[in-house]
């Protein structure tokens, strides 16, 4: 694993990463920790994965804690930020990587599944954005996650793309609402990325077809996406604000 960076920029910076123990969120936790940030690994159900992530970060010389919270529960998310501030003194970066995926034709989707999806992906994103807007220190960054399917519009992704479209709609609005605070707000929209969530339920043929769709002819990796987040939350990326960045190897 990359050694911990102790540059002046990184010292004392703190990141809250929701969904930070699995998939892209875990890769983000590792990447930001490698850049010297203290990491608050948020999770909702898999305690073992969260503890494993924290153990890996601390073994590499980083600082990290795990905090359980449902992102759609405003009291739990407020408590998450309270614990971040109590442990590390404040919050400089918030990455909302928590999310759900449900695939079905619009005509067939169970509306209870739709409600659960939107509870996490829309309400949860809004709740985390509220706390980020209230708690981030000057010079900070908020990064949300959308999906490139908002642009590609593949069948069966209607509910998921709709939930992520809501996040894209909030991005520039929140950036403008934080005028004068020196805080950036951006959204990363990955293309097909080799995570457990993406691979689950797909055939080898489906995966191979999706891998060949970008001009770069491969699936993205969680680390590819984590590198984008690291840039957006760095001093070098601080002029980028209110943007949707489609990190997808050249898809539409």
Q: Kindly report, residue by residue over 119-166, the tens digit of the pLDDT.
A: 999 999 999 999 999 999 999 999 999 999 999 999 999 999 999 999
Does the reported pTM lie above 0.85? yes
What span, in angstroms and rounded, lies between the C-alpha atoms of 227 and 186? 14
What span, in angstroms and rounded, lies between the C-alpha atoms of 36 and 44? 25
252 assigned to some structural domain: no
Q: Which residues pair with 142 in a beta bridge?
A: 94, 185
Name the domain count of the chain. 1
250 assigned to some structural domain: no
What span, in angstroms and rounded, lies between the C-alpha atoms of 126 and 48? 27
Active-site residue, 157 included:
no
pLDDT in tens, 43-56: 999 999 999 999 99
Q: Are the C-beta atoms of residues 129 and 173 closer than 8 Å to each other? A: no
74 assigned to some structural domain: yes
The catalytic residue among 142, 145, 160, 198 is 160
Residue-number span of the structural domain to which 121 is assigned: 14-244
102 assigned to some structural domain: yes
CATH of the domain at 183: 3.40.50.720
């Amino acid at each position: 694993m990359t050694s911990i960076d102790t540059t002046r920029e990184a010292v004392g910076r703190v990141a809250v990463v929701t969904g930070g123990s699995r998939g892209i969120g875990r890769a983000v936790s590792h990447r930001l920790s490698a850049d010297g940030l203290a990491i608050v690994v948020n999770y909702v159900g898999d305690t073992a994965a969260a503890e494993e992530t924290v153990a890996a970060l601390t073994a590499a010389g980083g600082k990290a804690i795990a905090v359980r919270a449902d992102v759609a529960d405003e009291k739990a998310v407020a408590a998450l930020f309270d614990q971040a501030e109590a442990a590390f003194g404040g919050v400089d970066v918030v990455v909302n990587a928590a999310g759900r995926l449900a695939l079905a034709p619009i005509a067939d989707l169970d509306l209870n599944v739709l409600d659960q999806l939107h509870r996490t992906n829309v309400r949860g994103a809004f709740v985390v954005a509220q706390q980020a807007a209230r708690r981030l220190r000057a010079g900070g960054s908020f990064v949300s996650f959308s999906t490139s399917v908002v642009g590609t519009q593949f069948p069966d992704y209607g509910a998921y793309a709709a939930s992520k479209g809501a996040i894209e709609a909030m991005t520039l609005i929140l950036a403008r609402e934080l005028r004068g605070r020196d805080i950036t707000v951006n959204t990363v929209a990955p293309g097909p990325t080799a995570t457990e969530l993406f691979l689950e339920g797909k055939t080898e043929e489906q995966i191979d077809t999706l891998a060949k769709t970008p001009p770069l002819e491969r699936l993205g990796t969680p680390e590819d996406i984590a590198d984008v987040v690291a840039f957006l939350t760095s001093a070098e990326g601080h002029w980028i604000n209110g943007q949707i960045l489609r990190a997808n190897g050249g898809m539409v």
